[in-house]
Amino acid sequence: MKRRAFMTLLGGAAAAWPLAARAQQAGKLPTIGFLGQNTRSAGSEWTAAFVQRLRELGWTDGRTIAIEYRWGEGREERFASVAAEFVRLKVDVIVVSGTPAVMASKRATSTIPIVFATAGDPVGNHLVDSLARPGGNVTGLSVQSNELAGKRIELLREVVPGLRRLAILGNVGNPFTVLELAEVQAAAGALGLDVDTLEIRSARDIAPAFDRIKGRSEALYVCVDGLMSSNRIPINILAVGARLPTMHGAREYVEGGGLMSFGANYPDLFRRSADYVDKILRGAKPANIPVEQPTKFDLIVNLNTARALNIAIPSTLLALADEVIE
C-alpha cells in the first residue's frame, strides 16, 4: 500500500475511534464540561442524578472521566463565558440545561458534542433540526413545559375556585419563556381569565413586578428558567406577602416556598442525559441520537405555604399529588 493511502486510511480510522479511547490515547481522562443554569445548591439534586447514572454506566469522576463543573447562577452573560472556557479546555462533551445556556454553548462550538438535560421546544428554538434527527452537534431531552400551561392553570383554579385574574411572571430574555408566556396567555384566555403579564430580564426587576400586581391578581404563574430558579426563594416570599398562590414547573420552587408545581421530573431528565453522554463517549454522533421527551411528571404541593396563605387544598388534589411538603 502506498504511504499516502495508508496515512489517509489511518487518519480515517482515528476519527472513528470513540472519544474516550482517543482521550486516553492522548494521556488524559475524557472530560465533561457541566454547565448548571442556576447555582450549585439549586442544582444539587439534578447533578446527583446525573453522576449516579454515569457511575452505573461505568464512568466515575476522577477515575474514568473528569467533570468540570460551572454554574450560571441565572445570569445569561455567564453562559457564553463558561461555554468559551469549555472550548479552551477542549472538553469532550458539554452537558447543559436551559434554552439560553444551550444556545450559548451552540454558538461557542460546532464540533464539541453538546447534550442538553433540559431545553424547551428545541425545534422551535432552532437548537436541533428535528427531534428524530437532531443534526449538528446538539441533542438531549426536551421539557416541552409550555405544553403544560393549561393543566397548571386548571390546578390553580382548583385551589382558587373563583380565580378571575392571573399574573404571569417570566424572563423574556429566555426565548423559551417567550413561547411559554404565549401558551399561558392563550390558555388563560380560553378559560375566561384576565391576565397580568410581568416581563423581567434580571433579578432587580422582580420586586417592582410584584408592586404592579398588588391588589389586582389572585394567583401567580411562574415560568421556569435559570433566573427564576436562582431567585425562587425571594419570589415566593414576595408572593406570600402579596397573598398570591403560586404555580411552578419544577419541584425545587415548591421546596423554596412555592405553593404548587406540575411538570417534568427534572432529576429523571438529568439521569437520562447521562445515557447520552455515555453513547457519545463510546463513539455515537449527537446528530444521530434522537431528542427524547419527559416520561415522568410530578405534582408537588407545599402545605406549609397553603397554611401561610390561609388556603385549604382540596383533598382530591392532595390525593393526586406525588409529594406533599409539610
Q: Which residues contact 15 (CB under 8 A, 6 or more apart)?
A: none
Please give the residue range of the domain that contains residue 205.
Answer: 146-264+298-325
Looking at the structure, do residues 270 and 251 belong to the same domain, yes or no?
no
Instruction: Tell me the pLDDT of the chain averaged across its residues.
Output: 90
d(C-alpha 167, C-alpha 169), whole Å:
7
Of the candidate ranges 39-48, 241-250, 315-324, the one whose mean pLDDT is the lowest: 39-48
Torsion angle (degrees, nearest 10) of CA 141, 145, 151, 152: 130
Write the CATH number for 138. 3.40.50.2300
Same domain, 165 and 306: yes
Question: How many domains are there within the chain?
Answer: 2
Average pLDDT over residues 178-199: 95
Residue 84 and residue 181 in one domain: no
β-strands 165-171, 219-222 pairing:
parallel
Give the pLDDT band (50/70/90) at residue 11: very low
- What local confidence, expressed as pLDDT, does residue 209 receive? 96
| Distance, CA of 259 to CA of 75 (rounded, Å) | 25
Same domain, 304 and 210: yes
Q: Give the per-residue pLDDT at 54.
A: 98
Q: What is the pLDDT of residue 37?
A: 83
pTM of this prediction?
A: 0.81
Of 2-11, 252-261, 277-286, 315-324, the range with the lowest mean pLDDT is: 2-11
| pLDDT of 77 | 84
- Whether 101 has a pLDDT exceeding 60, the answer reads yes
